[in-house]
Structure formats: structure tokens, C-alpha cells
Amino acid sequence: MSDSRIVEDGSHHEDEVDAPSRPLSEVKAELFKALGHPARVRILEVLSSGERTVGDIQPLVGIESSHLSQQLGVLRRAGVVTNRKDGSSVIYSLSDPVVAELLDVAKRLLRTRLDTTRELLQDLNDPATVATPGEAASR
């Protein structure tokens, strides 16, 4: 019976039934580690709108081709992007639409945090909420 497991570099190895499985928290941490670079996040954002060649991705991400290839390799090994050959071109795409959903959830989380910070700043700047030294002592 074939078994697929995730190993240290994020790749899958088949037929390793006897190998111990890794804790889910460790696998999740490696996924987030792969997402932990601005260029990789930008690549995923670009690919969220559809598959692209390296030549299409490069100007949108704004990094050198060699660096882009390295970052695509990290994302490919993490299993969040796939690639296929089309003649002399390599075309990249998200491995699963859920990756785009994950980026959207992150954006919503950041918006919520920013809204909370804005509200706090407004409260701090509102003269009605600022206590005078006498008011503060009486509280």
C-alpha cells in the first residue's frame, strides 16, 4: 500500500509507510514559513488571478528573474503552486483555489487590525476622551 508523507523540504515521498508522520502543527508552520516572504506573497497574489508564465510574473512582482525562480521553487516545494511546460514556456498556477482564499483571509485580518488601530487613534485624538490631570486623579 502506498503512503504519501511530507518531508523536511516540503516535498512528498511515496511508499514510505514505515516513516513516522509529522505533527500537523509542524506542517502548518512550514506552510506559513513558505508564505513568510513578501515576494512569495506577491507571486501568490499575481497567480490568484490565473496562471502565468515566469515572464508574465517577473514585472508584476518586480524582482530579478533568478530570484523569482528561487521563490517559485520554494512555493512549488511547499505545494502551493504548480507548474507545467507549454513549449519553451513554464506556466505557473496556484495548486488550489484555497490558497487565494487564504490570502483573502489574511487581508481581512489585517483590515480588522487596522480598523481597530484607527478607532484607538481617533479615541486618543478626541478631546472629549482626554482626561485633564484633575480628572485623572479623581478616577
| Residue carrying the nine cell digits 504548480 | 82
Does residue 15 sit within a domain? Answer: no
If one compares 79 and 5, the residue with the highest pLDDT of the two is 79
Predicted pLDDT at 117: 87
Query: Domain limits at 43?
Result: 22-128
Asked if the structure places residue 13 within a domain, the reply is no
Inside any domain, residue 58: yes
The model's pTM is: 0.70
Per-residue model confidence (pLDDT) at position 53: 95
Q: What is the mean pLDDT of residues 20-33?
A: 89
Q: In whole angstroms, give the CA distance from residue 81 to residue 53.
A: 12
Q: Is residue 28 part of a domain?
A: yes
Whether 2 is covered by a domain: the verdict is no
- What share of the chain in percent tops pLDDT 90? 64
**Res 20: pLDDT:** 62
- Residue 55 counted as domain residue: yes
Q: Give the C-alpha separation, 20 to 16, whole Å.
A: 9
**Res. 25: pLDDT tops 50:** yes
Residue 111, pLDDT score: 92
Does residue 89 sit within a domain? Answer: yes
Measured from the Cβ of residue 76, the count of other Cβ atoms closer than 10 Å reads 17
- How many independent structural domains does the chain possess? 1
Q: What integer pLDDT is reported at residue 106 of this predicted model?
A: 93
pLDDT for 126 beyond 90? no
pLDDT at res. 18:
44
Write down the residue that cell numbers 497567480 correspond to: 47
53/45 Cα distance (integer angstroms): 14
8: pLDDT strictly greater than 70: no
Ranges 4-13, 18-27, 124-133, most confident:
18-27
CATH of the domain at 41: 1.10.10.10
Flag whether 35 is in a domain.
yes
